[in-house]
Structure 1
């Protein structure tokens, strides 16, 4: 069984329409969490759900759920992703997974109604809040709150760089809800790979079997503000000079390991007072370290902290380093991997097992319920960029696979009766020390 041409056509129409919400000049989107552009995409989601007579729920952290209930009182298989984006981002990341989930769910609903059967589980499509973490850190916020990995009240109090709290921002766009979350029995998500393995190997699907160890460092450099022209060089305490050296440290530490064994970057960098005639007094930056091996990240972290301490002593500046957003390796259930492989074989699609270096809502959900994560190819491996691209054919192939996975999951094909400890090693889960200031 496979989806109809009308289903794939309707999906593509919706996908390309949503890409116009927050569209940028170079075919990307900018829909950061709880902005007006995010409000528009959320309104589209709500209208889509209401127009089909499904039940819409919005919880206290802004997660949106479209409920399809055939078996009153039974728990739900969740399918979905997120509609928020990075600044000047691609139009596929996250949004593809939500829109594919909506159309997969509608197809499954039609099958169930035509058959007159009552599956053991109901189905719900979810749009998670603030997966990207661009405006509000940490990322993967809505799904992590849902999974009990982050505290809802603490996350509602998180502020952006302008001092606006998550709760206030959600109130301002009308999407801070009070509804109860549906009881989840499983979760499935489809996403672009954001790498080039599938494209390079000409493979249509990736069955994600595990995630990389991730850790961020929240770094604050404190110097002294002074005049760029009138202050002697010997008398300056320039926070930006020290922060620039730290950026290079974060880049250079990867050279201590085998190629691509460790990836690192400084993605956020805030300079104060950011005036052309003032020596900077404060710089805040966030360093990101990732590897498939926890020990590699911890070794790199240790070296960076030692080098930063030496820099602080040599420069006479105060430099504070906090561990932030630590995510252990997670492993997806073997039964879910086998299900994806069976579905791919039935549909005539090529598939391979693959790891994810990026974080996803599926990683949070995988700690509490059996979870499936699927990838489709990304052109040139480019993501978080307006040049991000995946073909219509690859998106439809993924939609076909997601539909069959969802259909199997509502019939209990991934239910293990609670015998499995999800996610692999449980060494503390997500931790969120540090701040976004």
Structure 2
């Protein structure tokens, strides 16, 4: 029997879930973690799992699972993603991976397939980091502790524990979500690329081999505010000129110390005092640096520090930086990558072997178990926007690749 997903059922689920949390004013979806809309989405998913005849569960971190029991108690295969969103989101980020995982399990159940290994759909909580991390997958990996549960807040100062309690959940139960890595054979995630590569190269799927690591800095340059008309150019301690010098150094540093997978971005800057007739005396800015090699990340960090130090001396500035976050790069399991490549070839799909430049739940899970990822194209590279979309034909191809891969992983 040829196994294929039911695209019409995938369409219906995606479009139905997209209406939960949608605002008519901008057509964006507002299903941020542990808002009322997110909890409604979780209830919808539990209902869809039960309707499919699968076992539905929710753990202490409010991760939602759907289970197709296997013949043996061998380590299970997990497949999934997340259904929470950023503000003003599109319909596919995270959601696609959850809906496709559900479709894979219900397709196998309908066809009377009982896999050797148990298959589990998992929809992780708060992948988008409303509370500063990837709460659901971090809980599964045992990275949550009582202190973090007591102190995690969103940008508005709302405590995670208060949001959990508001919906009737015990925050401390999240500690019980941790899994034994010996109980999991691997984790698979299908996701939109959220970038332009597949769309521009006209490839149907991407096979991810590495998930980028990253560090983010908050950097301050301090000079001296002064009158724009009376302060000669050579007598200025202009903090903004220090930022400008540093911005021009970024391409050189990437070329000399990075790789073709390196990225560096100054995405936010504040110039103070912020008056048109005043030499800037203070600049705060962000630096986001990514690469799939931890060694290269270390080298880039050292090079950026050295450049900042040299610029500060030259411009007579003081500088300081604070590392706000660090995520270790994760390599996808070679055996899973090779399996995905082989299945893509057998299905006759045009594919690209590529890194993931964005963090996903697979990055957290990769610290615990073998992981693999499938990308499908994002139209015009757009994501985190109501314009986010993927052709149905590409979604169907990615879903069938996931189905064939899951069948093989669950039978070995």
TM range (shorter): 0.7 to 0.9
Aligned partner of residue 158 in structure 2, secondary structure? coil
What corresponds to 2:137 in structure 1?
143
C-alpha contact (below 8 Å) 2:141/2:178 kept by paired residues: no
C-alpha contact (below 8 Å) 1:269/1:284 kept by paired residues: yes
What corresponds to 1:342 in structure 2?
342
What corresponds to 1:124 in structure 2?
120
What corresponds to 2:235 in structure 1?
none
Matched, 1:254 2:251: yes
What corresponds to 2:325 in structure 1?
324
Cα displacement (A) at 1:297: 3.4
Aligned partner of residue 287 in structure 2, secondary structure? strand
Describe the shift of the 1:49–1:269 C-alpha distance in structure 2 as closer, same or farther (beyond 3 A). farther
Describe the shift of the 1:77–1:321 C-alpha distance in structure 2 as closer, same or farther (beyond 3 A). same
Unaligned runs of 5+ in 1: 224-232, 235-240, 275-279, 413-437
Describe the shift of the 1:220–1:170 C-alpha distance in structure 2 as closer, same or farther (beyond 3 A). farther
Aligned partner of residue 167 in structure 1, secondary structure? helix
How does 1:413-424 map onto structure 2 within 5 Å? none
Matched residues, number: 389
Aligned partner of residue 215 in structure 2, secondary structure? strand
> Normalization by structure 1: what TM-score?
0.75
Aligned partner of residue 152 in structure 2, secondary structure? coil
What corresponds to 1:197 in structure 2?
197
2:131 and 2:370 mapped to 1: Cα distance? 28
C-alpha contact (below 8 Å) 1:250/1:264 kept by paired residues: no
Matched, 1:15 2:14: yes
Matched, 1:153 2:146: yes
Q: Give the stretch that moved more between structures: 159-168 or 394-403.
A: 159-168
> Normalization by structure 2: what TM-score?
0.79
Cα displacement (A) at 1:309: 6.0
Cα displacement (A) at 1:98: 0.7
Which of 161, 164, 170 aligns to 2:164? It is 170
1:141 and 1:267 mapped to 2: Cα distance? 25
Instruction: Map Cα deviations across residues 237-267 of structure 1 (whole Å, 9 max, x no partner).
Output: xxxx969965984675234333965322355
C-alpha contact (below 8 Å) 1:68/1:109 kept by paired residues: yes
Unaligned runs of 5+ in 2: 224-229, 232-237, 275-279
C-alpha contact (below 8 Å) 1:105/1:406 kept by paired residues: no
Cα displacement (A) at 1:63: 2.0
Q: Give the stretch that moved more between structures: 250-259 or 120-129.
A: 250-259
2:240 and 2:61 mapped to 1: Cα distance? 34
Cα displacement (A) at 1:96: 0.6
1:353 and 1:3 mapped to 2: Cα distance? 24
C-alpha contact (below 8 Å) 1:49/1:56 kept by paired residues: yes
C-alpha contact (below 8 Å) 1:210/1:331 kept by paired residues: yes
How does 1:345-384 map onto structure 2 within 5 Å? 345-384=345-384
CA RMSD across the alignment = 3.8
Cα displacement (A) at 1:137: 1.6
What corresponds to 1:186 in structure 2?
186
Describe the shift of the 1:162–1:77 C-alpha distance in structure 2 as closer, same or farther (beyond 3 A). same
C-alpha contact (below 8 Å) 1:305/1:321 kept by paired residues: no
1:289 and 1:2 mapped to 2: Cα distance? 45
